[in-house]
Amino acid sequence: MSLYSEKVMDHFRNPRNVGVIEDADGVGEVGNAKCGDIMKMYIKVENDILVDVKFETFGCGSAIASSSMATEMIKGKPLKEALLLTNKAVTETLDGLPAHKLHCSVLAEEAVQAAVRDYYQRNNIPYDEKDFPALDHAHDTHGEDGQ
Amino acid sequence: MKVYADNAATTRMRASALAAYAEAAENYYGNPSSLHSDGQEAKSLLEECREQIATLLGAKPKEILFTSGGSEADNQAILSAAHLGKLKGKTKIVSTAIEHHAVLHTLSKLKREGFDVVLLPVGTDGIVKLSDLERALDDNTCLVSVMFANNEIGTIQPVEEIGKLCRERKILFHTDAVQAVGHTEVNVEKIGCDYLALSAHKFGGPKGVGALYTRQGAPLYPLIEGGAQERGKRAGTEDLPAIKAMAVAMNEAVETLPETQKKLTYLRNKLIAGLEKVPHCALNGDRDRRLPGNVSFCFEGIEGESLLLLLDDKGISASSGSACTSGSLDPSHVLLAIGRVHDVAHGSLRLTLGPDNTEEEIDYMIQEVPKVVGYLRNMSPVWRDLQQGKRQYIL
């Protein structure tokens, strides 16, 4: 199908870092089943470095590809750097997404931030809400009755 | 293996129709409106096609109007009946929640213009209740529009009974039979409808051509102005090769109907039985009162678009009513109308069979679909929650 780029299809067909980290240091879940996409991100942190990242996604091809790409982009990076990951960067690295699928990359950005914030909260590490811009708006309220 | 299982979207052209198309395009290039013999030969062929299609539907030739397809036919029928209704001061139209958008969007337009549009619900079986319809009909009703068979879940509506109710009350009755013609018996006298829309590419004819049956005496106004073609009801030079191919395809579909129905019903039931073994899934629509080639399921815990993409990788062409495949946030209005909640409706799969499908292909789908569903469930946080009891199964 030509709806998606080769890169999206590659990450969709061969998703990187799929699965669960049972003893995760942080877990972020965004989206909702009613809207048709949920992303769950698990992180393992050592010395402020994301030593492991895994994801589970319920959603369309671009949602799975976006999660896969996001995990690849943040794995091995310092936490602060992971928080700088934008949906734009995910989309660009995937060689683009159709306009009506851009929200999938937004979801990936949100999932990463949600997982990191969860890590901070679990460990009572003080943080600035401004470092989690994607979590300002609640994705999971969109499309309650459609538009 | 390559399996085309999206015959409700469109079909491969029948070899006979393709040959007829080429033959007509080569030899009957004259304009049917021209006076010379090239034109008149084309005109004769056009009228032969009209007669053949009329006969296959149990109609008179002059009751058949050629259109660009089912959508145009639906639009013209509804707008014509509404126009007359308005002149008579009757502005209520009764239809159902599961109609095709060609009907629903036309009705929305009329609603904005002041018509009282009532969309009847359907049961979880995907079939409209006659008692609901009967209650909705009143002296102000100018039109009833109920599809013959649903395009997503294949359910067959009680059109003959609906036709009877409408005739008793002298209310015009339109039926969108796009999914039914060539797939089940369709006869306008038996149905008792005033309008019936059909589309050639759903039964092995070409795309871009269809027909509207309008009972003699029922109102019909042109959507396209500019010529005397089609007795002034549709301007524009007729696409004769397409019309000829449609007539050939329809004739073949109707002639072979008993054997095709028998074969497809067997294949459909086998496919349904095979897919039902997947845990936490459900068949959409009534098990028996459905088109012989329609299989529609919801699988809990997964999303339809990713399912379609992976099936495509396996060579299987299918379709889904998930939001992601419709380009909107909401899943199919049909699945919601039969009571599937959003979470589950996103995980729908439609496999629609045609005469070319084989039992080997059915076996292949029974083998591959559950694998793909299982693979996607394995990476789904929803499925994990369901399995761990953090979320209640719906199916």
Domain ranges of chain A: 6-125
pLDDT of residue B156: 98
Q: What is the pTM of this model?
A: 0.94
List domains and CATH numbers for chain B. 3-10+257-387 (3.90.1150.10), 15-255 (3.40.640.10)
Residue B128 DSSP label = B
Kindly determine whether residue B329 and residue A33, on different chains, have CB atoms separated by under 8 Å: no
Spell out the residues 6+ positions from residue B40 whose beta carbon is closer than 8 angstroms to its own.
B30, B34
Instruction: List chain B pLDDT tens, one digit each, 395 residues.
Output: 999 999 999 999 999 999 999 999 999 999 999 999 999 999 999 999 999 999 999 999 999 999 999 999 999 999 999 999 999 999 999 999 999 999 999 999 999 999 999 999 999 999 999 999 999 999 999 999 999 999 999 999 999 999 999 999 999 999 999 999 999 999 999 999 999 999 999 999 999 999 999 999 999 999 999 999 999 999 999 999 999 999 999 999 999 999 999 999 999 999 999 999 999 999 999 999 999 999 999 999 999 999 999 999 999 999 998 777 666 668 899 999 999 999 999 999 999 999 999 999 999 999 999 999 999 999 999 999 999 999 999 99
Q: Hey, which residues 260-319 in chain B have their CB within 8 Å of chain A?
A: 301-306, 309-310, 312-313
Within 8 A of A56 by CB-CB distance, chain B residues are 379-381, 384
Interface contact A1, partner B, CB < 8 A: yes
How far apart (Å, rounded) are the C-alpha atoms in residues B195 and B220? 10
pLDDT of residue B323: 72
pLDDT higher at B137 or A35? B137
Flag whether pLDDT at A145 surpasses 60.
no
Question: Which residue blocks in B276-358 are alpha helix, DSSP H?
Answer: 304-313, 323-326, 333-337, 342-345
Question: Which residue blocks in chain B are alpha helix, DSSP H?
Answer: 15-27, 37-57, 70-87, 101-112, 130-136, 159-169, 188-191, 240-255, 257-275, 304-313, 323-326, 333-337, 342-345, 359-378, 381-387
CATH class of this structure's domain A6-125: alpha beta
pLDDT of residue A137: 58
Interface contact A127, partner B, CB < 8 A: no
Within 8 A of A100 by CB-CB distance, chain B residues are 327
Q: For residue A19, what is the nearest residue in chain B, using CA coordinates?
A: B379
Q: Which of A32, A98, A38 is nearest to B376 (CA)?
A: A38
ipTM: 0.91
Is B142 marked active-site?
Answer: no
Kindly list the catalytic residues of A.
Answer: 35, 104
Kindly determine whether residue A146 and residue B329, on different chains, have CB atoms separated by under 8 Å: yes
* Tokens linked to A29: 């879940």
How far apart (Å, rounded) are the C-alpha atoms in residues A111 and A113? 5
A27: left (phi over 0), alpha (psi -120 to 50) or beta: beta
